[in-house]
């Protein structure tokens, strides 16, 4: 049926079929990168969540392995949800994950590799002490999920953070543990932000103020900032902030309160959610995985037989120029996919014009583009935001960008573009947008 010749990516990670959502417990172990992912083995829509598992030597080429964890106990029978790996100095891996119980209560469980010397970590054992954590008093049974990688404090105890909410107050709870079996809840939050609602998939990690090396999750002290990220259920975006962590008080404070979690920066302004980082001890870098929750309708997903991707992983470092933002770049291994390259320089793009770039045929393209804007208007414009007008609506300084997947008549195209908007005589706000309305496989997304 020609209507449903859907194109799969050969680029971002995806299982062969069925539904996938966020990434869980990524780690590097004995020469292999491991990714686990929220996976429905039976259907292309969310449900019956298990942990899919794949390994790679280079974060680019993946080998799918059997399911790592399936919902087969009372404490996870409604789904083996997101979790994180902690590599213990004793050589063990502590995999903490959320289980949704028979009555839909969210509890935290512990799993271990059956054989930590197996590079592929094929078999996982659920700890007989499960569940190791129940929702504490005052926390809703459905608001207690996605434990972070643990970090070691100055008192020799591990800390695990878990996102939640108190009404509309988004919060991060912190537990201390010695053995990952018994836990003590701290009497204060690591951090909270009013009005942000449920914090899913909290991530908390150190970044170096100087240099480009990643840091182990337990690193703290001089020359180190901490990033706190929450995936906001309300916005379906991954919000983060750069701040300072006090490992004695177990408090994190944003460096700029105006740029707090949920009201400031986001990892990505497209479809990108439930992300998670891990420390790659082999190459000493911090790597970010994000889930691309695509825009197709459930109806189309079922027809396709699959839904969603994990982005090519990105290396994350603090932006040394300001110390206030992160820089993300696809992992260097991506260069192994670049078989041919074309370079176009000094391309002049006049207002309203389209400049074709001839590259012959290709099935996958990796485009790096740099634009230099010539100011043609110094006037304040009254344009408000944004991407809403699509690529056809002109602003005083744009939009400009790339028309991908375009045919010669430009009736078929997907645009990725910048829209700079002059908000005052000397200030410009730039929106980074995509317009899929002329993409023939586009289906309206009610989100």
Scanning residues 46 to 65, which ones bind ligand FRU (CB under 6 A)? Answer: 49
How near is the Cβ of 38 to ligand FRU at its closest, in Å? 4
Nearer to ligand FRU, 24 or 403 (CB): 24
- 32 beta partners: 29
Q: What is the arrangement of strands in the sheet containing 50-56, beginning at the earlier edge strand?
A: 62-69, 50-56, 32-40, 18-29, 306-307
CB closer to ligand FRU out of 216 and 268 = 268
> Closest CB to ligand FRU among 200 and 383?
200
Name which position in 13, 18, 20, 21 contacts ligand FRU (CB under 6 A): 21
**Under the criterion CB under 6 A, does residue 201 sit at the interface with ligand FRU?**
yes
**273-280 vs 251-254, strand pairing mode:** unpaired
The interface mask with ligand FRU, positions 107-136, x = CB under 6 A, is ------------------------------
Choice between 278 and 431, CB closer to ligand FRU? 278
Closer of 60 and 161 to ligand FRU (Cβ):
161
The least CB distance from residue 201 to ligand FRU, in Å, is 5
The helix/strand/coil state of 241 is: strand
Least gap, CB of 276 to ligand FRU (angstroms): 10
82 contributes a contact to ligand FRU by CB under 6 A: yes
Residue 164 binds to ligand FRU (criterion: CB under 6 A): no
Which of these, 131, 121, 144, 251, lies nearest to 187 by C-alpha position? 251
Nearer to ligand FRU, 126 or 285 (CB): 126
Q: How many residues bind ligand FRU (CB under 6 A)?
A: 12
Q: Are 149 and 278 in contact (CB under 8 A)?
A: yes
| E strands in 210-250 | 224-232, 237-246
Residue with tokens 């983060």: 240
How many CB atoms lie under 10 A from the CB of residue 392? Answer: 10
Residue 442 CB, nearest approach to ligand FRU (Å): 23
Cβ 82 to ligand FRU shortest distance, Å: 3
CB of 21 to ligand FRU, least distance (A): 5
Nearest approach in angstroms of CB 236 to ligand FRU is 8
Q: Which are the contacts of 399, defined by CB distance < 8 A and separation ≥ 6?
A: 391, 393, 417, 418, 419, 420, 433
Least distance in Å: CB of 50 to ligand FRU?
10
Nearer CB in complex with ligand FRU: 203/435? 203
- Using CA atoms, how far residue 141 sits from 115, 123, 355, in Å, is 33, 30, 56
Among 76, 143, 200, 296, indicate the residue that binds ligand FRU (CB under 6 A): 200
Q: Which is nearer to ligand FRU, 189 or 273 (CB)?
A: 273
Which C-beta is closer to ligand FRU: that of 82 or that of 415?
Answer: 82
Residues within window 62-81 making contact with ligand FRU, judged by CB under 6 A: 81
Label the pairing between strands 169-177 and 183-185: antiparallel
Least Å distance between CB 31 and ligand FRU? Answer: 29
Residue 71's alpha-carbon distances to 78, 96, 282, in angstroms, are 6, 15, 32
Residue number with CB closer to ligand FRU (146 or 203): 146
Closest CB to ligand FRU among residues 273, 400: 273
* Rounded least distance, CB 91 to ligand FRU, Å: 27
Site residues for ligand FRU, window 86-105 (CB under 6 A)?
98
We find the least distance from the C-beta atom of residue 130 to ligand FRU, in angstroms, to be 16
Distance between CA 60 and CA 289 in Å, rounded? 12
Cα(315)–Cα(280) distance, integer angstroms: 10
CA distances to 77, 141, 149, 361 from 328, rounded to whole Å, are 37, 35, 20, 29
Q: Quick check: bond before 131 cis, omega within 30? A: yes
DSSP track, 331-398: -GGGGGG--------S----TT----------S---------PPP---SPP-----STTTTTS-BTTB
Q: Per rule CB under 6 A, is residue 22 in the interface with ligand FRU?
A: yes
Closest CB to ligand FRU among residues 38, 436: 38
Residues 134-153 contacting ligand FRU, CB under 6 A? 145-146
Say if residue 385 is exposed, middle or buried (CB neighbours under 10 Å; 0-12, 13-18, 19+): exposed
Does residue 38 belong to the site contacting ligand FRU (CB under 6 A)? yes
One character per residue 270-289, x = contact with ligand FRU (rule: CB under 6 A): ----x---------------
| Residue pair 229/298 in contact by the 8 Å Cβ criterion | no
- Contact footprint for ligand FRU (CB under 6 A): 21-22, 38, 49, 81-82, 98, 145-146, 200-201, 274
């Amino acid at each position: 049926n020609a209507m449903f010749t859907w194109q799969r990516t050969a680029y971002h990670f995806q299982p062969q079929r069925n539904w996938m959502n966020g990434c869980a417990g990524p780690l590097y172990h004995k020469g292999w990168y491991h990714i686990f992912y929220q996976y429905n083995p039976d259907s292309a829509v969310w449900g019956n969540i298990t942990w899919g598992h794949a390994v790679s030597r280079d974060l680019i080429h993946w080998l799918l392995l059997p399911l790592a964890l399936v919902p087969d106990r009372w404490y996870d029978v409604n789904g083996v949800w997101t979790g994180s790996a902690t590599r213990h100095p004793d050589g063990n891996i502590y995999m903490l994950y959320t289980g949704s119980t028979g009555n839909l209560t969210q509890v935290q469980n512990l799993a271990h590799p059956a054989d930590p010397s197996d590079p592929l970590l094929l078999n996982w054992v659920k700890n007989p002490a499960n569940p190791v954590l129940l929702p504490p008093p005052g926390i809703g049974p459905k608001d207690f999920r996605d434990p972070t990688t643990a970090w070691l404090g100055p008192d020799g105890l591990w800390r695990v953070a878990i996102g939640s909410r108190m009404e509309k107050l988004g919060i991060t709870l912190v537990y201390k543990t010695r053995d990952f079996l018994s836990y003590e809840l701290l009497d204060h939050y690591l951090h909270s932000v009013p009005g942000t609602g449920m914090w899913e998939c909290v991530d908390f990690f150190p970044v170096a103020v100087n240099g480009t090396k990643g840091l182990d999750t337990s690193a703290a002290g001089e020359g180190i900032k901490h990033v706190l990220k929450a995936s906001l259920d309300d916005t379906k975006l991954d919000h983060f902030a750069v701040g300072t962590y006090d490992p004695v008080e177990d408090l994190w404070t944003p460096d700029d309160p105006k740029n707090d979690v949920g009201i400031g920066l986001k990892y990505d302004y497209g479809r990108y959610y439930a992300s998670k980082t891990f420390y790659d001890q082999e190459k000493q870098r911090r790597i970010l995985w994000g889930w691309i929750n695509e825009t197709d309708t459930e109806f189309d997903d079922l027809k396709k037989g699959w839904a969603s991707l994990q982005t090519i992983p990105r290396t994350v470092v603090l932006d040394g120029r300001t110390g206030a933002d992160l820089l993300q770049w696809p992992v260097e291994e991506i260069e192994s996919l670049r078989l041919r390259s074309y370079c176009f320089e000094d391309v002049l793009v006049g207002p309203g014009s389209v400049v074709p770039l001839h590259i012959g045929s290709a099935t996958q393209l990796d485009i790096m583009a740099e634009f230099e804007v010539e100011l043609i208007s110094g006037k304040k414009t009254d344009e408000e935001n944004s991407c809403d007008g699509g690529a056809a609506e002109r602003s005083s300084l744009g939009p400009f960008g790339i028309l991908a997947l375009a045919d010669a008549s430009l009736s078929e195209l997907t645009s990725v573009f910048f829209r700079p908007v002059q908000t005052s005589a000397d200030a410009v706000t730039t929106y980074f947008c995509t317009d899929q309305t002329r993409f023939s496989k586009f289906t309206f997304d009610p989100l």
